[in-house]
């Protein structure tokens, strides 16, 4: 019996479940199960920008669909906002290597955005997001998969705190505010960026880094961003402050103690800790009284400390 041969795309899928089983495949499936990202009958629009994150996500979704316990559909979308030919050709080359059955939709988003003298990046992102939702809806999809990973999550959390004075994170899924029945999912939520980069090197695949015309010519890092600065800050904190700082930032978003924050916003309404402060205080006092907590606390303190020595010199001079 002859040795089974695999296509290049199949070899890459095998790599996901062998050498990169723990850092990529297991974390991918864990996120899908933990956050209930994929359900039977879903039609997912896998959004591919051509960068490392979305390309690896596409390969993971392709493999998951092949071996899933339940049926779901995936349509792979490459939305071309006006890439230069070299970038688009690289994306097409990678789709060929990874055997991703993507559909390429060309738009004039770059052309429109760069006609703006102010905030072209904001307009570009807004238009790309709008086009993405419209295409997904047109194709009958009920979910849009984006390639944001673990590092994106902690960077976003810290950026919101430092730049916006707000404690909010990037969620693994959220419903659309404009398209009925549409959800955004982030199946790469638990995967580290370093492992995605390592996979690309092992697979010998070159992904596009940034196809934005505005940043062209700044690949050497002379044009920095808030996200890059935050990435460097986290790395420095990990090195000089606490080696668990990344895990702690991630965990903090799931360990919020509402009784110990000044306020929060829910459904557009602001709430303050003072709203139920008196109620909580009275309930606490009732509990102290019914459990004799005060008497026990005093008794414990007396046993632990010697008698107090009180100096009334300043009290007698100035407080009389």
Query: Residue 194 belongs to a domain with what CATH number?
Result: 3.40.50.620
Classify 33 as helix, strand or coil: helix
Q: Which of 15-19, 120-124, 156-160 has the least mean pLDDT? A: 120-124
Distance CA 146, CA 47 (A): 6
Q: Are residues 181 and 272 in the same domain?
A: no
In a domain, 220, yes or no: no
What's the whole-number mean pLDDT along residues 171-178? 94
Q: Residues 195, 23: contact at Cβ < 8 Å?
A: yes
In a domain, 313, yes or no: no
Placement of tokens 């998969």 in the chain:
145
Q: Are residues 205 and 262 in the same domain?
A: no
In a domain, 217, yes or no: no
Buried b (16+ CB within 10 A) or exposed e, 109-125: bbeebbeeeeebeebbe
Q: Are residues 298 and 187 in the same domain?
A: no
The model carries a pTM of 0.87
Q: Pairing state of beta strands 73-80 and 143-145?
A: unpaired
Classify 156 as helix, strand or coil: helix
Mean pLDDT of the chain: 90
Tens digits of per-residue pLDDT, 74-128?
999 998 888 888 999 999 999 999 999 999 998 877 777 777 766 677 777 888 8
In a domain, 284, yes or no: yes
In a domain, 185, yes or no: yes
Count of domains for the chain: 2
pLDDT band at 150 (very low <50, low <70, confident <90, very high): very high
What's the whole-number mean pLDDT along residues 214-230? 64
What's the whole-number mean pLDDT along residues 19-45? 97
pLDDT, residue 90, reads 94
What's the whole-number mean pLDDT along residues 221-226? 60
Distance CA 201, CA 195 (A): 10
% of the chain residues with pLDDT over 70: 93
Q: Are residues 200 and 60 in the same domain?
A: yes
What's the whole-number mean pLDDT along residues 41-53? 95
For residue 317, count CB atoms less than 10 angstroms from its CB and return exposed for 0-12, middle for 13-18, buried for 19 or more: exposed
In a domain, 239, yes or no: no
Instruction: Provide the Cα torsion 294, 297, 298, 299; round to 10°.
Output: 120
Closest to 11 in 3D by CA, of 69, 68, 63, 53: 63
Distance CA 235, CA 246 (A): 9
Q: Are residues 126 and 262 in the same domain?
A: no
In a domain, 268, yes or no: yes
Alpha helices in 72-159 (DSSP H): 85-98, 109-113, 120-138, 150-159
Which two tokens mark 258? 């509402």
pLDDT, residue 218, reads 47
pLDDT, residue 221, reads 46
- Higher per-residue confidence, 309 vs 6: 309
Q: Are residues 175 and 281 in the same domain?
A: no
pLDDT, residue 117, reads 66
Residue 220 has pLDDT above 50, yes or no: no
Residue 216 has pLDDT above 70, yes or no: no
Q: Are residues 190 and 264 in the same domain?
A: no
Structural domain for 203, as ranges: 8-149+160-212
pLDDT band at 183 (very low <50, low <70, confident <90, very high): very high
């Amino acid at each position: 019996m002859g040795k089974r041969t695999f296509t290049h795309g199949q070899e890459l899928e095998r790599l996901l479940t062998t050498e990169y089983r723990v850092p990529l495949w297991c974390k991918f499936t864990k996120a899908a199960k933990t956050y209930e990202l994929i359900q039977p009958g879903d039609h997912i629009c896998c959004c591919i920008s051509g960068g490392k994150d979305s390309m690896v996500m596409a390969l993971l979704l392709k493999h998951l669909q092949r071996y899933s316990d339940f049926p779901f559909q995936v349509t792979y979308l490459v939305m071309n906002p006006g890439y230069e030919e070299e970038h688009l050709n690289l994306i097409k080359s990678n789709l060929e290597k990874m055997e991703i059955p993507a559909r390429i939709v060309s738009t004039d988003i770059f052309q429109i955005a760069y006609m703006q003298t102010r905030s072209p990046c904001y307009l570009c992102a807004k238009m790309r997001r709008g086009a993405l939702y419209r295409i997904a809806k047109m194709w009958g999809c009920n979910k849009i998969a984006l390639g944001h990973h673990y590092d994106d999550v902690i960077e976003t959390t810290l950026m919101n705190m430092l730049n916006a004075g707000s404690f909010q994170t990037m969620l693994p899924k959220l419903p659309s505010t404009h398209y009925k029945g549409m959800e955004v999912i982030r199946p790469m939520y638990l995967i580290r960026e370093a492992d995605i980069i390592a996979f690309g090197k092992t697979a010998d695949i070159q992904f596009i880094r940034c196809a934005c015309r505005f940043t062209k010519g700044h690949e050497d890092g002379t044009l920095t961003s808030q996200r890059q600065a935050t990435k460097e800050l986290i790395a420095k904190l990990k090195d000089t402050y606490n080696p668990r700082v990344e895990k702690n930032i991630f965990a903090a978003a799931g360990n919020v103690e509402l009784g110990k924050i000044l306020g929060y916003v829910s459904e557009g309404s602001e709430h303050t800790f003072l709203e139920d402060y008196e109620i909580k205080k009275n309930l606490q006092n009732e509990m102290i009284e019914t459990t004799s907590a005060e008497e026990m606390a005093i008794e414990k303190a007396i046993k632990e400390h010697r008698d107090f020595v009180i100096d009334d010199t300043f009290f007698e001079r100035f407080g009389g």
